[in-house]
Amino acid sequence: MKFSALPKNTLERKKIIDLIRKKGNFYFNTTNGVNHGELLVSRRPSEQLKKTASDYTTCYNCRGFFTKNSIRHHRAKCVEHKPNDRQIMVMGRKLIGRIHPSASSILRKMVFPVLREDEAVRVIRYDALLITFANKMCLKYRHQHQYDMIRSRLRLLGRFLIALKQVNKAVTDFASIYNPSVYDSCIQAVNTVAVLD
């Protein structure tokens, strides 16, 4: 405990304590066995703002959780080399790694972090069958310029799954589509996604 040897209220001691706190919060927020639906953030939001967990991202340098709107202000103080705002969001998503455990390292580090966080991405993130499909695509299309194609196909399948869930409430994930009773709902969802109505 290096900080305990330092005198109280010194800047160096406060920095060390802050770093330990942020690393502990990061471990708590990203470990399934420890966390049970709670998010520890660097700055507590006011109750009027009604922030959810999807409004937060991680600083890749200090591992603190900040709102997506305020991460750029924190970045100016935290990081010497200053990447643009898009890069800092991608690096934060890469660090958190919210994805199905069976996802390959290419999918986890190169494909998914670049995807913007919306409903279609949230649907495919933990779908076992879609992640298996994405792993196969990563093996087939190895070049970096082909990752955009993988992302667009995954996003399309996510939009299809959302449309299918609206048509048929019994559908929970992509594996439940492979049931003959869902066939008519699939046709209807395809027409909705393709804007053929």
Mean pLDDT of the chain: 88
Tell me the CA distances in angstroms from 120 to 11, 117, 154, 158, 162, one per residue in order: 44, 8, 9, 5, 7
Boundary residue ending a domain (43, 75, 96)? 96
Say yes or no: 143 and 104 in one domain.
yes
- Of 46, 77, 96, the position where a domain reaches its end is 96
C-alpha triplet 46, 48, 50: angle, nearest 5°: 85
Claim to verify: residue 137 and residue 67 sit in the same structural domain: no
Number of structural domains in the chain: 2
Q: Where are the beta strands (DSSP E) in the chain?
A: 56-58, 65-67
Q: What is the band of 173 on the pLDDT scale with cuts at 50, 70, 90?
A: very high
pLDDT at 82: 66
Residue 163 clears pLDDT 90, i.e. is over it? yes
Nearest to 97 by CA among 112, 115, 83: 112
Region 5-22 average pLDDT = 86
On whether both 9 and 90 belong to a single domain, the answer is yes
Q: Write down the pLDDT at residue 137.
A: 96
Kindly tell me if the per-residue pLDDT of 112 is higher than 90: yes
pLDDT at 166: 95
Structural domain including 188 reads 99-197
Specify whether 31 is located in the same domain as 63: yes
Terminal C-alpha separation, the chain? 66
